[in-house]
């Protein structure tokens, strides 16, 4: 049974993961609505985000249910390790292929479809962090997605000003991924019986992801400075 403190810590974790991972989604929302009149833009963002939130909640609940199937926690954890590494090494994505909607309906469709296409990392991360608690999934997404939409510019500026936020986000993702692996039914008994090994494994995954991501980032920076 979860304590109140554990519930709120998990909720903060879910909101933070969504904020870290959803910067691109906020950019897509802006691009999709850019050609509409200001009053219609607000409607497109509101309705599009509402549709995206509902779709995201349904997708996350499905993933939470799927993670009860043997070995899928392991698969989800491994996928999330890759996402944590990608978060550190990815350059800013090119969104030139996002078409601006010419009408309210087309803008809403673009926002929902683009969010669904880009939301796999969020869904896996939130499903892993929720510990199968559907209330956490719903509350976390209801809080974080509107924040991303209306506060995305501020959050992106914060990340640009304080790059360590990305490292913190990657560390939280790596922690969630390693916790998913240790919670896998086939490993759970072993890790619960050997708590030191469990925490060493989690620490190793976090340090490994941060180190590999940092080294790759440095290598990319050297290559770009050589080419310029």
- Summarised one tens digit per residue, pLDDT across range 180-214 is 899 888 887 888 888 999 999 999 999 999 999 99
Residue 136 has pLDDT above 70, yes or no: yes
- The residue among 121 and 57 whose pLDDT is bigger is 57
- The residue among 203 and 12 whose pLDDT is bigger is 203
Residues 126-144 have a mean pLDDT of: 81
Domain residue spans of the chain: 8-223
Q: Are 16 and 126 in contact (CB under 8 A)?
A: no
Residue 51 has pLDDT above 90, yes or no: no
**Whole-number average pLDDT of the chain:** 80
- The residue among 114 and 218 whose pLDDT is bigger is 218
Rg (CA), the chain: 19
pLDDT at 155: 61
CA-closest candidate to residue 146, choices 29, 41, 36, 39? 29
Spatial neighbors of 171 by CB under 8 A, at least 6 apart, are 84, 206, 209, 210
């Amino acid at each position: 049974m979860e304590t109140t403190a554990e519930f709120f810590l998990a909720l903060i974790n879910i909101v933070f993961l969504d904020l870290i991972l959803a910067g691109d989604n906020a950019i897509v929302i802006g691009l999709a609505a850019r050609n509409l009149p200001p009053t219609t833009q607000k409607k497109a963002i509101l309705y599009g985000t509402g549709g995206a939130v509902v779709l995201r909640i349904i997708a996350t609940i499905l993933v939470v249910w799927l993670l009860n199937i043997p070995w899928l926690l392991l698969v989800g954890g491994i996928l999330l390790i890759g996402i944590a590494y990608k978060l550190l090494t990815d350059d800013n994505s090119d969104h030139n292929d996002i078409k601006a909607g010419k009408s309210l309906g087309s803008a809403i469709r673009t926002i929902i479809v683009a969010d669904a296409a880009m939301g796999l990392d969020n869904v896996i991360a939130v499903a892993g962090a929720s510990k199968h608690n559907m209330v956490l999934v719903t509350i976390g997404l209801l809080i974080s997605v509107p924040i991303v939409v209306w506060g995305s510019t501020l959050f992106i500026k914060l990340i640009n000003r304080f790059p360590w936020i990305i490292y913190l986000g990657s560390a939280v993702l790596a922690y969630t991924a390693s916790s998913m692996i240790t919670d896998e039914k086939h490993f759970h008994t072993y890790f619960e019986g050997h708590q030191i090994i469990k925490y060493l494994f989690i620490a190793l995954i976090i340090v490994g992801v941060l180190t590999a991501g940092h080294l790759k980032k440095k290598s990319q920076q050297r290559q770009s400075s050589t080419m310029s």
